[in-house]
Amino acid sequence: MAASNELMLTMYRKMLLSRRFEEKAGQAYGLKKIQGFCHLYIGQEAVVVGVNEALRATDWVMTGYRDHVHPLVRGADAGMLMAELYGRDGGYSKGKGGSMHFFDIEHGFYGGYGIVGGQIPLAAGLAFASKYRNEDRVTVCSFGDAAANQGAMHETFNMAQKWKLPVLYIVENNKYGMGTDIARVSSVPDIHKRAAGWDMRGEEVDGMDVLTVYEKVKELVEWIRAGNGPVLLEARCYRFRGHSMSDAALYRTKDEVEFEKQRDPILKLRKQLLEKKIATEQQLDQIDEEEKAVVEKALAFADASPLPPDEDVWTHTLVEEGEADVRPRERVLGATDVKWPSFPTDFKVTWDLEPRTPNTENPAAKKGAA
């Protein structure tokens, strides 16, 4: 299904928002306003935006530590995300999570994980819960190419496929696991091909083209929602910056980076929008100015937000008796329109995960009954 003109403009806007947000995060890191590890998404925007626009608001998303823009394109507040990067009280996690651990449950973003591949089994758990409660929902879990070499992926894919869990795994293959070319450490560097090992559907897509990503994910999510089980989608992309802010990226040539920058997904969509006369140069520049303003505002918000109070060192380690969950936009912005998920406590489980045939009847149970 091709994207409408309006949707193409939305994608253009969200990719620019992502780019400008990350550029400013990089600058703020240089100014030491952001510290610790900081992994920018610059160059890969077509993946996150193409995927997001193919999902429903009720679907769930999680990813690894390169996680700034996944909640941003789902509708998270840019100022609160920036405040989290600054380690401030106004951040989504009150400054407890930082760059690698973003969470925005209101928008179905279930995290930012700092252990490579750690989110892969968790996503199967989210999908398991959806199937257990018979919900019409797909979980989308991104991870980097290097995470595909973790045992967690093998263990999870085996279960996800066996139990036909409604989960879309997206490997954002930007070619490098930190400084190591994925082909140097992988016997099967075409990661989607490994899906065959679990009898799972595996596909690849040009992750530098937002429209292609959108169309492919739209198709796959529909297939998953129909109950066909999980899919592994390999989105081939490229990060224009180093692995993290401390990485000078000496393991790849300038020529390679320059070549990839010619495939900049934002410039590509811009060209398409102009060629199809969907927007004028001036209109597209205007969008950029608007998104730059959003990010400027986010920086100002983060700057103005105080540190979390000292007594917060003691909070949120355990759930205290009767303690409610924190709704960040309500807490920080006083928002009254927060849609918080509520899960049923009384329902009937109708899923027969492993139907029994006469051949698989439990003889021990039968004997017990007799």
Residues lying near another protein in the complex (CB under 8 A) = 60, 91-97, 101, 103-105, 110-111, 113-115, 118, 120-130, 132-133, 151-152, 155-156, 158-159, 162, 315-319, 323, 325-328, 341, 343-349, 351-356, 360, 362, 364-365, 368-369
Alpha-carbon 175 to chain mean position? 18
Smallest gap, in angstroms, from Cβ of residue 330 to another protein?
11
Question: Which ranges in the chain belong to alpha helices (H)?
Answer: 5-30, 45-53, 69-74, 78-86, 119-132, 151-162, 210-223, 254-261, 265-275, 281-304, 328-333, 363-369
Smallest gap, in angstroms, from Cβ of residue 39 to another protein?
16
If the CB atoms of residues 159 and 249 are measured against another protein, the closer one turns out to be: 159
The one-letter code for the residue type at 28 is A
Smallest gap, in angstroms, from Cβ of residue 119 to another protein?
9
Smallest gap, in angstroms, from Cβ of residue 43 to another protein?
26
Cβ atoms 48, 40 nearer than 8 A:
no
If the CB atoms of residues 275 and 368 are measured against another protein, the closer one turns out to be: 368
- DSSP single-letter state for residue 104: B
If the CB atoms of residues 199 and 323 are measured against another protein, the closer one turns out to be: 323
Torsion angles phi and psi, residue 170, rounded to 5:
-115, 115
Smallest gap, in angstroms, from Cβ of residue 193 to another protein?
21
Smallest gap, in angstroms, from Cβ of residue 268 to another protein?
35
Residue 69 to residue 15: CA distance in whole angstroms: 9
If the CB atoms of residues 4 and 362 are measured against another protein, the closer one turns out to be: 362
Smallest gap, in angstroms, from Cβ of residue 232 to another protein?
15
Residue 103 to residue 106: CA distance in whole angstroms: 9
* Largest Cα span, the chain: 81
If the CB atoms of residues 193 and 316 are measured against another protein, the closer one turns out to be: 316
| β-pair type (109-112, 167-173) | unpaired
What are the residues facing 144 on neighbouring strands?
A: 172
Cβ atoms 112, 63 nearer than 8 A:
yes
Smallest gap, in angstroms, from Cβ of residue 235 to another protein?
22
If the CB atoms of residues 282 and 336 are measured against another protein, the closer one turns out to be: 336
Query: In angstroms, what CA-CA distances link 172 with 35, 97, 131, 367?
Result: 25, 23, 26, 52
Torsion angles phi and psi, residue 286, rounded to 5:
-65, -40
Q: Which two tokens stand for residue 76?
A: 């998270």
Cβ atoms 3, 274 nearer than 8 A:
no
Residue 347 to residue 339: CA distance in whole angstroms: 22
Q: Which of 340, 308, 347, 356 is nearest to 87 (CA)?
A: 308
If the CB atoms of residues 23 and 89 are measured against another protein, the closer one turns out to be: 89
If the CB atoms of residues 155 and 296 are measured against another protein, the closer one turns out to be: 155
If the CB atoms of residues 43 and 95 are measured against another protein, the closer one turns out to be: 95
Smallest gap, in angstroms, from Cβ of residue 17 to another protein?
23
